[in-house]
Copies of this chain bind each other. A is one copy, B any other.
């Protein structure tokens, strides 16, 4: 499983956003959801995903609850009130960043012809 190099720096925000709209998710579910939402473009590696979840938990932004489903353990994560707040801020910031990025990536207008009246 390999992910887009562009995921760097956005992973935390994506996780917060998914948890903000789904209330309760487990790690594997998050990775599947991202793959689905991105049309398989983004595949989260577990080595990236789980450490982020642990970190967010340690920072008090998530709480985890383990359940056994079909004989397999699942750790459900949900946002704390602080997590809900941070999710809002981060999503807003990332949306702004993508707009900025879009402007930078815009084809450069070649105004030389107009300037010279040609």
How distant is the Cα of A9 from the Cα of B4 in the complex, in angstroms?
A: 9
Interface SS of chain A: helix
- Cβ contacts under 8 Å, A96 to chain B: 41
Contact with B along A22-49 (1 / 0, CB 8 A): 1000000000001001110110000000
Q: Which of A24-78 contact B (CB under 8 A)?
A: 34, 37-39, 41-42
Count how many chain A residues have C-beta atoms less than 8 Å from C-beta atoms of the other chain. 34
Count the copies. Answer: 2
Pairwise interchain contact A104-B7, C-beta atoms closer than 8 A = no
Select from chain B the residue with minimum beta-carbon distance to A107: B21
Binding site for B on A (CB under 8 A): 4-10, 13-14, 17-18, 21-22, 34, 37-39, 41-42, 91, 93-98, 100-105, 107-108
